[in-house]
Amino acid sequence: MNQNAHEPASLPVPAADALAASADLAARIRDEIATAGGWLPFDRYMELALYTPGLGYYSGGARKFGRRAEDGSDFVTAPELSPLFAQTLARPLAQALQASGTRELMEFGAGTGRLAAGILSALDALGVSLDSYAIVDLSGELRERQRETIEALGGELASRVRWLDALPERFEGIVIGNEVLDAMPVQLYARTGGIWHARGVAVGEAGAFRFEARALDAPAVQLTKEDAALFAELDAEIDPAIDYVAETHAAGAAFARTICAMLKRGAAFFIDYGFPRAEYYHPQRTQGTLMCHYRHRAHDDPFLYPGLQDITAHVEFTRIAEAGVETGADLLGYTSQARFLMNAGVTEVLSEIDPADASRFLPAANAVQKLLSEAEMGELFKVIAFSRGIDGTLDAFARGDRSHTL
């Protein structure tokens, strides 16, 4: 097999051991494709590439979070960008804890642990006491980094953190998921010549993976009623002569549904990049949003280096909102990251740094600019929250709430 059959010339080549692990994962995926009759739905391929135990991108040992390609990382998240993100987020979390009368936090996909450490420290500074901070993360490599980060807190704060291998049947407290929904496997569909097909994965020449379309009524295609209704709406809105690619989000919706059903009292916050349905399936978004990240470079080839690169899609927040509300949870709010952080007092947090101390203040101000700017993370990223047992809303959603757009 030509391991680099899909290799973009501008991307660095992984080390030999990483390539060997990727080759092992590719072999497993090819075996599953063969067992399935030569074709896998794309969401199953994405699940295998990201979560195969020991080899997948998130379940293996590949470094993910960092600031530069030179450190072996692929992308940077808001908690890695600045500690002010966690310090600001702690404020609405504290309000939600108080409003719900709960004392526990649970974080999904905790990255390097910086968000957890920052929230724990900020809540302590605000005088908010927690009984526990639970982390759910599939990556053994990241769990170790999380432990190192949190142990640096020392003493009582670090002792409150525990790692979960399974979800509790019920939870009373606050749930946090920062850039979790975008890592959920998505279904891919393509309309060509006015006809919708499921886009899946087959094996081509020299064992390379390739896209292959299947009719919606094919045995391997599991078309939901929601997706069928979506395609009918798109056909009515978009000229059938225009070819169109779209992702749908059954896994993300199922995750939101599970979390909101588990939540008996408290709130669940999800922060991610994406759009409400009307914007997500815009007539001009003809190629969908699927994207890959490798060494801080974005590209569109999900078959490059399986297990070594991130595969992601923007979140369709309307479907997430519907899934949460179906469980009986309340939609607490939905807004841009910029509005959420400004409402939560990010400028007040920044003002606690002396402007005269340029070595501290200027990097912090630059980071806040990236968190808030429409050209950076401020508009593309959204915050959606669900609640049970909280009357009214939170200050972070008091102005600029966009729930009406969902």
Please write the tens of the pLDDT for every residue from 42-80.
999 999 999 999 999 988 766 555 555 455 555 678 888
Give CA separation, 203 vs 23, 36, 133, 206, in Å.
14, 12, 44, 8
In order of start, what are the domains of the chain with their CATH numbers? 16-406 (3.40.50.12710)
| Confidence check: pLDDT of 335 > 70 | yes
pLDDT band at 4 (very low <50, low <70, confident <90, very high): very low
| Confidence check: pLDDT of 32 > 90 | yes
pLDDT of residue 177: 97
| Confidence check: pLDDT of 8 > 70 | no
Mean pLDDT of 1-10: 50
Q: Which residues contact 307 (CB under 8 A, 6 or more apart)?
A: 21, 22, 25, 49, 52, 55, 56, 57, 60, 62
Check residues 285 and 139 and name the one with the higher pLDDT: 285
Three-state SS at 273: strand
343-352 residue pLDDT tens: 999 999 999 9
0.85 cut: is pTM over it?
A: yes
| Confidence check: pLDDT of 127 > 50 | yes
Return d(Cα 6, Cα 305) in angstroms, integer: 8
Mean pLDDT of 327-333: 98
Check residues 64 and 35 and name the one with the higher pLDDT: 35
Question: pLDDT exceeding 90 applies to what percent of the chain?
Answer: 81
Give the pair of three-digit tokens for residue 196: 């919708």
Q: Give the chain's length.
A: 406
231-242 residue pLDDT tens: 999 999 999 899
pLDDT of residue 142: 79
* Average model confidence (pLDDT) across the chain: 92
Q: Which of 250, 123, 125, 139 is nearest to 174 (CA)?
A: 123
